Structure 1
Amino acid sequence: MTKELPENRIRLILFGTFVYGAILVIALFRIQIFQHEQYSIMADNQHWSKHNLASGRGKIISGDGYVLADNEVGYLLFADPNKITDAPQLADAILEVLGPDKIRPYLQDWKNYDDEVLQRESTDSHHIKNTAREYLISRLSLKLNWVAIVRHLNEDQKNKLEAKNLPGLGFERDDSRRYPEGPLGAHVLGFLGSDTFGEPKGYFGIEGYWDGDLRGNNGYFYEERSASGNPILVGEYKRVDPIAGREITLTIDRSLQKMLEDHLTKGVIDNDAKSGSAIIIEPGTGKILAMANFPNYDPNTPFPEIFESPDADKNDDTPAWRQNINRRNDSIATTYEPGSVIKPLTMSAALDLEKVNPQTTVIDNGPLKVGEDTIDNWDKKHHGVITMIDILALSDNVGSAQVGKMVGAANLYDYFSAFGLGKLTGIDLEGEDAGILREAAGWREIETMNHAFGQGFLATPLQVITAYSVFPNKGMLIRPYIVSQVNEGGTITNFEPEIVRRVINEETALTINDMLVKAVENGESRFYNLRNYTIAGKTGTAQIAEKGRYDSSLTNSTFVGYLPKDPKFLLLVKLEKPRASIYAAETAVPMFMDITRELVAYFGIPPDK
């Protein structure tokens, strides 16, 4: 006799079956319709293997044809731990070829060592070898399909590892950036580092500003693989070729860059200064022929473990002025109150507005009281009745302040702005600072007078030398530039000089040229002048403000000058906080004259007197 199921139980089973079937249908519908793309990608990832093809970063070349940055062929060693059966044996084989020193850079992050522990343990070669072995074993034992082991292997290291036929290891192209000239032009070039995702990224200088152009576009290829993960020999193959990065040619002259850096390094050390900057421009075009800063660094190792300046004295307990490297380009990124080098700009405004002529006189009988403030001369000396020519030759603050008052705040601001102060020059380098020049509406009378002799606002060395290019250029401002050519696979783009604006009329520019010649012949620099050459220029000794007050013992010393009869170059030299002497006439001027002596020989400029 068959026992029948109760009707309600049958209904429950049928309902359960229906619900289960409905859930299954809905799940299949979701997978096939809404998640089709996702599962299709997953299937492709299992069926296809993608390999990147490095594009190759573009070269950086000097104006005279020397390679300043290129790429060294290298390889990334990676592992597939799923194919590794004996991680310790594989680690020993890798160490046999590469040695522990190649692994050492990875140990600090892996062990979370601080610098002190790493330096202490690095003296124990046996300990380093064991730690490197532990690191490799840990990487080779990870439960992943792909693990990076060591970067930047050379061809020989790759070949030796391949010859061992080690299971689970593979290689990808991993070129490294190389700077053949070492520290030469480091602040112009910048360096190649990594972004937060570990991808190559340029920082500072050309590498930073032109990063997108230099990096190019990586290529890749896909190949079919079997269920076991091995390539199918007769399977499909898809390839997209890499596009190489653009090649950048600079206006920088390698010989002049080397010469300028050598003189700057010596000058900073000899004058016991904190830092220094120097720039050479071709005034008629705006080409940057050389740009140097000290302290310098080597972009091949932009973050060294230890750095000491060439003149570091381990027994000296005075402040360590130059113990740290500086990767920022002070010529374009560090602002300062330029001081008396600004007086020719004030004078040109007064001449252009016909407020004065070179023989106009003012009286300097002592410090000038302006409300509760006092303006005095750099040497505390006063000269009675003085002409406009005398103001520049004597670098007279009291006279300059009176000229600034004649010009007026609004006019002075307009001319300073036209000269390029308070604005980016547009130089094609990463990290340029615009300086600070407040609008004239907020100036008090004392601020107008202070601005007239270079205090109360901030400028970069590049802004100062660019402003000076107006004088040999007959009143025209030329935009400075440092990239002359970009080569994209044979398609060449050339960059040409660009006139920004007329700042002063031609007669004013010629008058300022003459006044600057007299300033050099009769001013503070006369003891160091070159006897056979006419030089137009101006010193600037600017006190540095600290804690709201100017400190007379701390100065920025600047000299800017050129040869007005044959202006093939315009040269600026700046020292920060020189301790050998606070005066530009005794620090920046001798450096300027030494560099100029080499420049006239390089350009073949004959004596003019």
Structure 2
Amino acid sequence: MKKRINPKKSIKTSNRIGIVMGIAVALVVTNVLFTMVTGVHFRSGENILSRKAGSGETKQTVIANRGYIYDRNGDIIAQDIESYDLYAYISEERVNAGDTPVYVVDVDSTSQQLAAIIETDESKVADTAAGIKKILDDAKAAGSYQTELGKYGKNLSVNQKKQIEELNLPGLGFTKSTNRVYPSGTFASQLIGYTRYDDDGNLEGASGFEATFNEELTGSNGEIVYQTDANDNRLPNTEKVISSPVNGNDVYLTLDKDTQLALEKALQNTMETNDATKAWAVVMDAKTGEILAQAGYPTYDLNTKEGEGMETNQANLPSSHTFEVGSVMKAFVYAAVMNEGLYDGLAEFQSGVSYIGIDENNNPIRIGADDGSPYAPIYDAEQRNRGVITYDEGLIYSTNSAIISLISNVIPVDTVISYLTDKFKLFDEVDMYGVDDNAGTLNTEYPIDKATLGFGQGASINTYQLMQAASAIFGDGTMLKPYVVEKIVDPNTGETVYQGQTEEVGEPISAETAKELQGLLERVVTDPNGTAQHYKMTDVTMMAKTGTGEVSTDGKYGKYYTNSILAAAPADDPQIIIYYAFESEQYKNYDTSYFQDVVREALNSLNQYNAANEQANSNNETTTDYAEYEMPALVNHSTEYVKQKLEGYNIKVNYIGDGNSIISQSPDENTTIISGQNVFLLTDGTNITMPNMSGWSRKDVAIFAKFAGIEVTYNGSGKVETQSIGESTVLGKDSKLEVELK
């Protein structure tokens, strides 16, 4: 018989079960809703969302490297380096699974530990710690979720990032960034220029070559996608590349680092010792037109953006600054007379004051004092009268009266002007690739303007116009366009997208004229009364023309002067042309040693200093010991093979390391080397000892140091006189060498 069920009891039991189930459901719903809203499990307090995989997807830009800028030897002028910006999570609600805090827990300790890594100056660590602590405290007080650390957390190096990560401090994060750096700091700053960040946080050129070649230097950023958890933490092994970054093109310049640094130092010294308002110079390869160095002062540091030039003038002085060159112009007048076959260097004229009249063609002509000159008289320097002298002496002594006499009695002034404008192109834009230049002004409206043009007053040009014209005088009569961009290379493919080259732009004078004038310009240096005799060097022969041009200030002359020299060396076969100038109230009794240092370094850069020194020591006659060789390919050959290959070469071979095989060489194969030159061969041996560097050039020391992997500090200029590490000392990775040059 079936058992009967009590309906009242059944209903009561069902009600209890319903209540329990209702409570359970309510608890589940409440927990789910709470978890959905807060991301924390209601009962356990665990952050559920922090453990939820694949809850989001984040895109990240992969920054492409901006192209590098190199010198002629591959030394870096400008480069991108990886840097990081540091930020901190502040909110105490930010926890991981198991209630592990992922926010800054201990502000004081975190601030102190970060400061010890971030601040490089020990005396400022405490201040930096206080600054970081204030930022964190202020962020906490404001209820911020996270905060950046201001200037303290910007542009941290890879090493600093690694050190901070090793601290295992909670609540810290990094964003990757790129910083543009210039290893040499002040280095052709007006020409190179600098970068800034655009609105999207990418580097862009702000001035100089950085701006001119911004399109070529700028790469294409890439993009990656990765999955994140609910707290935006990256999940491992979920990264996917959408597009790879393409780095920008590299720009190679014709500048030589050592010559440029020597020029920077020289111009800085010239500014300080001569109380100059500005100074500028250009060094050019006389055979190719390549610019080895160029700079203008005041200048600034490309890294810090500090320096007077940053505020006063960021334009490139050698190409933008036009000026009255003064007596340097006389060399081109003499070139015109010689090339026309009208020059007689021994013919005489009366030096001293010149009175200017006007002939029937409305041209200037020298007249007597009583002939009613409509213009103020023109004097020689310091109103000096040397009496009757020859035209050769007129250039050697740099007399204005020589020019006035030539255009009055020997050559029509319009012919001279035609040479200056049409043949030498002194007033045309040079149009160098990548360099904007100001063409200057020419004024020949009045007869007096034509007269003063011959000695460089009343008309203005820039330095590159002068260098281009001078290449004909110091060469074989052929004029070469200066250039400073050697090539532009796509580093991704190795393709050369632009190639600079030597370009002939005219033949204003014959080779015979050039040679004749060179002989006279050498006497400007060697003659005891020559205006360039104080530039004379004992170790290098030169030819030159000096200039002292009056600077027009508010329409008036007489307060400031442009003191300059246009020179070439060595005298028998010019390898370099240099123009060096400064503007000052002084116009005599100034130090020329700075200029001489640049000459030596420039010749070193072309491996021509030893030959120039040989010439100077033999009174302009090539010694019987002098010889030229072609450097053979020695890499991957044994030292025994090298000794046999170089047998009979009158050179100094320096083996670096105690190995038996050559792994690198300098100079490179097929390079012309000369007798007495240092040759460096890096072997596969690890034991490197210090050689005796006495008499070495700075460039020789730099090559050895690069192969040996040691740091060098240079003091002075010229040849090595002393070295801090003794001969035969075994070198280590931390070895630091200091050399005195004299």
Please, what TM-score do these two structures have when normalized by structure 1?
0.72
Q: Deviations 1:548-582 (Å, cap 9, x if unpaired)? A: 1101x421100111133121111222122054xx1
- 1:157/1:469 CA distance change after superposition, 3 Å: same
2:7 matched residue in structure 1: none
Could you tell me which of 298, 301, 321 is aligned with 1:298? Answer: 301
- 1:595/1:99 CA distance change after superposition, 3 Å: closer
* Cα RMSD (Å): 4.2
1:72 matched residue in structure 2: 81
1:419 matched residue in structure 2: 424
- 1:539/1:141 CA distance change after superposition, 3 Å: same
- 1:193/1:235 CA distance change after superposition, 3 Å: closer
1:496 matched residue in structure 2: 501
1:216 matched residue in structure 2: 219
Could you tell me which of 486, 489, 511 is aligned with 1:487? Answer: 489
Contact 2:600 2:609 in 1 (8 A): no
Distance (Å, rounded) in 2 between the aligned partners of 1:53 and 1:84: 31
Could you tell me which of 183, 186, 206 is aligned with 1:183? Answer: 186
Please identify, of 242-251 and 187-196, the stretch whose mean Cα deviation from structure 2 is larger.
Answer: 187-196
- 1:237/1:391 CA distance change after superposition, 3 Å: same
Extract unaligned runs of 5+ from structure 1: 1-45, 104-121, 308-321
1:392 matched residue in structure 2: 395
1:456 matched residue in structure 2: 458
Q: Deviations 1:255-297 (Å, cap 9, x if unpaired)? A: 2223333333333333332332232211110111222444443
- 1:72/1:575 CA distance change after superposition, 3 Å: same
Contact 1:467 1:477 in 2 (8 A): yes
Find the residue that maps to 1:470 and give its secondary structure.
helix
- 1:244/1:197 CA distance change after superposition, 3 Å: closer
Quick one: which amino acid aligns to residue 332 of structure 1?
Answer: S
Greater helix proportion: 1
Distance (Å, rounded) in 1 between the aligned partners of 2:352 and 2:282: 38
Q: Deviations 1:299-350 (Å, cap 9, x if unpaired)? A: 121147xx7xxxxxxxxxxxxxx99786543233322211111111122233
Find the residue that maps to 1:557 and give its secondary structure.
strand
1:310 matched residue in structure 2: none
Amino-acid identity (%): 23
Contact 1:288 1:482 in 2 (8 A): yes
Distance (Å, rounded) in 1 between the aligned partners of 2:252 and 2:480: 20
- 1:225/1:544 CA distance change after superposition, 3 Å: same
Alignment of 1:264-343 (within 5 A): 264-303=267-306, 327-343=314-330
Could you tell me which of 553, 561, 567 is aligned with 1:555? Answer: 561
Distance (Å, rounded) in 2 between the aligned partners of 1:408 and 1:543: 22
Alignment of 1:127-526 (within 5 A): 128-129=131-132, 132-133=135-136, 141=144, 150-159=153-162, 160=164, 171-195=174-198, 199-222=202-225, 237=240, 239-303=242-306, 327-354=314-341, 356-359=343-346, 361-364=348-351, 366-369=353-356, 371-404=374-407, 406-409=411-414, 412=417, 415-416=420-421, 418-428=423-433, 432-438=436-442, 443-489=445-491, 490-492=494-496, 494-522=499-527, 523-526=530-533
Contact 1:58 1:247 in 2 (8 A): yes
Quick one: which amino acid aligns to residue 272 of structure 1?
Answer: D
Could you tell me which of 45, 50, 55 is aligned with 2:59? Answer: 50
Find the residue that maps to 2:522 and give its secondary structure.
helix
Q: CA deviation at 1:243?
A: 0.9
Could you tell me which of 540, 545, 555 is aligned with 2:547? Answer: 540
Count of residues paired in the alignment? 522
Could you tell me which of 577, 580, 591 is aligned with 1:570? Answer: 577
Q: Deviations 1:336-383 (Å, cap 9, x if unpaired)? A: 211111111122233334454545555445232353333222221234
1:59 matched residue in structure 2: 68
Find the residue that maps to 1:73 and give its secondary structure.
strand
Distance (Å, rounded) in 1 between the aligned partners of 2:534 and 2:109: 69
Distance (Å, rounded) in 2 between the aligned partners of 1:532 and 1:161: 57
Extract unaligned runs of 5+ from structure 2: 1-54, 95-101, 120-124, 358-373, 620-742
Q: CA deviation at 1:221?
A: 2.8
- 1:591/1:152 CA distance change after superposition, 3 Å: closer
Find the residue that maps to 1:542 and give its secondary structure.
strand
Distance (Å, rounded) in 1 between the aligned partners of 2:422 and 2:92: 67
Distance (Å, rounded) in 1 between the aligned partners of 2:311 and 2:151: 33
Distance (Å, rounded) in 1 between the aligned partners of 2:553 and 2:356: 23
Contact 1:59 1:70 in 2 (8 A): yes
Distance (Å, rounded) in 2 between the aligned partners of 1:100 and 1:455: 61
Distance (Å, rounded) in 2 between the aligned partners of 1:603 and 1:364: 39
Distance (Å, rounded) in 1 between the aligned partners of 2:506 and 2:198: 39
Q: Deviations 1:392-426 (Å, cap 9, x if unpaired)? A: 11211132244456443575155335434333333
Distance (Å, rounded) in 2 between the aligned partners of 1:84 and 1:404: 91
Contact 1:70 1:179 in 2 (8 A): yes
Please, what TM-score do these two structures have when normalized by structure 2?
0.61
Distance (Å, rounded) in 2 between the aligned partners of 1:196 and 1:156: 28
Q: Deviations 1:81-115 (Å, cap 9, x if unpaired)? A: 99986999698797456449979xxxxxxxxxxxx
2:703 matched residue in structure 1: none
2:740 matched residue in structure 1: none
Q: CA deviation at 1:436?
A: 1.3
Q: Deviations 1:501-558 (Å, cap 9, x if unpaired)? A: 222222322222122123323322225523575421100011121121101x421100
Q: Is the radius of gyration larger for structure 1 or structure 2?
A: 2
Find the residue that maps to 1:375 and give its secondary structure.
coil
Alignment of 1:99-118 (within 5 A): 99=115
Alignment of 1:23-42 (within 5 A): none
- 1:333/1:556 CA distance change after superposition, 3 Å: same
Q: CA deviation at 1:56?
A: 0.8
Distance (Å, rounded) in 1 between the aligned partners of 2:476 and 2:142: 67
- 1:99/1:394 CA distance change after superposition, 3 Å: same
2:661 matched residue in structure 1: none
- 1:569/1:234 CA distance change after superposition, 3 Å: closer
Q: CA deviation at 1:178?
A: 2.1
Q: CA deviation at 1:481?
A: 1.7
